[in-house]
Structure formats: C-alpha cells, structure tokens
Amino acid sequence: MQTHIAPRFQNDPSVTEADTILRSCVHCGFCTATCPTYQILGDELDGPRGRIYLIKEFFAGAPATEHTLKHLDRCLTCRACETTCPSGVRYARLAEIGRAHIEAEVGRPALERLKRRLLRAIVPHPERFRLLVQLGDACKPLLPEALARKVPALPRPRPAAPQATVSTTRRVIALAGCVQSVMTPATGAALAQILGTLGVAVDVPASAGCCGALSLHLNAHSEAHDYMRRNIDAWWPLIGAGAEAILVSASGCGSMVKEYGEALQNDPDYAEKAARVAALARDPSEWLLERAGEIPFVAADRGTVAFHAPCSLQHAQRLQGGVEMLLQRAGYRLTRVRDGHLCCGSAGTYSILQPVLSQQLRNQKLEALQIEQPDCIATANVGCQMHLQSGSETPVRHWLELCAEALAPAGRVFPSIQP
C-alpha cells in the first residue's frame, strides 16, 4: 500500500510505526471473510480493510469525524484478521495507534467519556468491582427484567479446602486477575490444584494487579504502562528467585502480558525487565501440555464439552488445539463447533460499549456451540465465560476447572502460596 504521511505527523514515532504497518497491506481483502462485524453489518468500513483505509487517510491529512471513530470503535480487536492475513499485517497495533490519534482529534460526548472513565476506575480494582456487583445484585428486584439479566451474580463462597504441605523448590507465578479474582476464583484454585500434582508451587503476589489491557484498549496508554510496571515490580524478585514461568489463566490478560516487552520497549528503566517478563509469560495450556503425561487424570468418560477458543488465545497468542488435547486427556468428549474462529462478542469492554453488536455475536456463538447439546461449554477467558453464560442455561466454565475435577483425589489440593 502506498502511503503519504501529512507533515504534522512526520515526527511522531507511533505514526512512523503505523506507516510501516500500512505499507505491508496489499488490499487483498482476505481479512473481510473472517471479520465478525463485517459479516453482521456488511459495510466495508466495518471490516479491517475499510478501517485500514480510514486510518491511512487520516494520517495522510484527511479530517476525522465521529463517523470515522464509530467504525473504529466497532472493531472487536479480535485479531482474526491477523490470523488470516497472508501479508502479516499487524492490524491490532495499527488500530490501537489510529484510535488514539483520531479520538484525540475528534473527542467524545461527555457521557461516553464518563462511561470509559468509570470502567477504568472500577474494573481493574477487584474490591471496587466486587462492591459494584454486590450493589447491582441488591438492586436486581428493582430493575427491568432485561437489565436484571445482565447483572452478574457473585459466586457463592465455597468451603476452604484443607491445605496440603508439599516440599518443593519448583515455583511459578500466577496472575489472579481483576474480574477473574472476583467472579471466577475457582479458576485460580483449579490451576493451583493441577500444578500441585506436578510438585509446583504457585506464587500470587498481592501487589500485582490489572494487566493493563483495559486501560490500553480505552486509549489510556500511560495508565496501562503504570499497571505493567507495577506487575513487573511485583514479579521481579520472584523471577530472580527462579520462577519457571508466569502463568496467566485469563487468556485476554495473557496476551497482554506477552506484549509487555513491546509496550515498554522505549522505557529505559523497564525495557529489559519487560522483555524478560514477556518471555516467561505462558497460557496454562501451553505450559501444561508439555507436561501432560505427568498429570494424574483418572480415566473416565466425563461427558461432552463444547470448547470456545477465545480470540485472545487463538488469534493473539496463536495457541490452537492445546486446551482441547488436555480436555480429551482428562476424559471429556469434545463436540463440533461451527465457525470456531469467530468472536463471541465479549472482547473486554466491548460488551458494555457496543451492546447490540455484542449480543448478536454472543447469540451466534451460543448457537454454534450448542449444536450437539453439550453437557458443558468450556472457555479460557473470564470475559467470554461471563458473556456466554449470560445468554445460556448450559453451564459455561473455565477449562482448568474441568481438568482439576478429573484429577486423582490425592492431587486435588495444593495451596496457593502468598508472600
């Protein structure tokens, strides 16, 4: 693609990066075939190729409008287009740069700015998020039925498992996560149980928090980088002490942590540390798959499972088939899932900021997942889990929980070690 960068952008390093990405696009249009929003809306500007042209024209000097920002906002950043693209166009990074510049020029209505500010002020903070959910749950009887169904319920407290004493020098770091630590704490417990069977202890430093993805996707880049630095500071002593990996069981957060090196590459104090953290980051599926033969699953037929592969797992991290193999080893029978490459519509804050499109995508995904009437739907990201569950009577669970339930009894309890 030929480009021309307007003089006012020519000394901006991020626009120089965007220009390089733009030049890698060959206009082939393969991306439109896998773009969820293009399939629904049928508008070229609601597909990757059209959005690339909008960004290209803006950096060439064309004025941006609310119309431009609307089409960029409709993008899920699911990155299915990147998996499809034969030219290796880094669309997600281009969209991130383009949105930031266009939003700064166009601005947003006051209500939209407030909504985004509230999301950044509440969701990355587990205690604030927990309080909001509790308030929403208390107000359910007063809400219209359609709105009340959207309010998630906090999980019921479970009896504390007896703590096993295991002597081991092998350790990994785990990220508890923001929403996951509040809404699906069983995921972290399941990871610790599985690792316990391998004689691996889990460190979950309390000073680590949000991965930074939410702020980054809402164009609060400095705030996102601060979250990243805080996590690096929390993990660095443990890395120095020999932690084997950083396991992130929410695939959306995992894809973010794997990009810390790129995000902080120009930070003289953190660039090297960020690259080291990114190199250690793993989705539990890729780390456990290398050790699958050591996990003591009890042989049994555990029923049928439809697996929804989150976009952050299959497109951002490029991990495909690993979770399915582990579930099969644990005794589950996997059902067919039509159009498994398509997004479920959760996409971080997308389900809140683009509710109509998000619900359409969710309903399509649930129809595809339930073709063979599975006993359970499994996924690898808390956002997908909650989003799908909001429209389905079929239980939606994290795949780690299912694998933990298939362990030999002696391997079911292992403490998560806190500092």
Q: Looking at residue 116, what is its pLDDT?
A: 96
142 — pLDDT class (breaks 50, 70, 90)? confident
Summarize pLDDT for 181-209 with one digit per residue, the tens: 999 999 999 999 999 999 999 999 999 99
pLDDT digits (tens, 9 = 90+) for 289-337: 999 999 999 989 999 999 999 999 999 999 999 999 999 999 999 999 9
Q: Is 201 helix (H, G, I), strand (E, B) or coil?
A: strand
Q: What percent of the chain has pLDDT over 90?
A: 86
Q: How far apart are CA 128 and CA 174, in angstroms?
A: 22
Give the CA distances from residue 41 to residues 32, 352, 356, 360, in Å, rounded to whole numbers and listed in that order: 11, 19, 12, 11
Residues 6+ apart with CB under 8 A from 309: 320, 323, 340, 379, 380
Q: Give the chain's mean pLDDT.
A: 92
Higher pLDDT, 266 or 159: 266
Asked if pLDDT for residue 274 goes beyond 50, the answer is yes
pLDDT, tens digit, 9 for 90 and up, residues 342-358? 999 999 999 999 999 99
pTM: 0.91
Count the helix, strand and coil residues of the chain and give each as a percent rounded to the nearest 5. 55, 5, 40
Q: What is the spatial distance between Cα 380 and Cα 187, in angstroms, rounded to a whole number?
A: 10
pLDDT of residue 137: 81
- Are the C-beta atoms of 347 and 358 separated by less than 8 Å? yes
Compute φ and ψ for 324, nearest 5 degrees: -60, -40
Q: Do the Cβ atoms of 278 and 258 come closer than 8 Å? A: yes
Question: For residues 367 and 106, what is the distance between their CA atoms, to the nearest angstrom?
Answer: 38
167 pLDDT band, cuts 50/70/90, is low
Q: Give CA–CA dist 148/174, Å, rounded.
A: 33
Is residue 149 over pLDDT 80? Answer: no
Question: Is residue 361 packed enough to be buried (19+ CB in 10 Å), middle (13-18) or exposed (0-12)?
Answer: buried
CA dihedral (295, 299, 304, 306) in degrees, to 10, reads 10
Q: Calculate mean pLDDT across residues 129-158.
A: 76
What is the gyration radius of the CA atoms in the chain, in angstroms?
Answer: 22
CA angle 349, 351, 355 (to 5 degrees): 135
Higher pLDDT, 161 or 271: 271
Give the pLDDT band of residue 109 (cuts 50, 70, 90): very high
| pLDDT tens digits for range 384-401 | 999 999 999 999 999 999
Give the C-alpha separation, 128 to 133, whole Å: 9
Q: What single-letter amino acid sits at 180? A: Q
pLDDT band of 25, cuts 50, 70, 90: very high
> Using an 8 Å Cβ cutoff, are 22 and 56 in contact?
yes
Is 386 strand, coil or helix? helix
* DSSP H helix total and E strand total for the chain: 23, 9
Q: Residue 401: name the closest of 249, 226, 282 by CA.
A: 249
Cβ within 8 Å of residue 89, ≥6 positions away: 21, 24, 25, 31, 48, 52, 81, 82
Burial class (CB in 10 A: 0-12, 13-18, 19+), 352: middle
Q: Is the pLDDT of residue 11 over 70?
A: yes
Indicate whether 414 pLDDT > 50: no
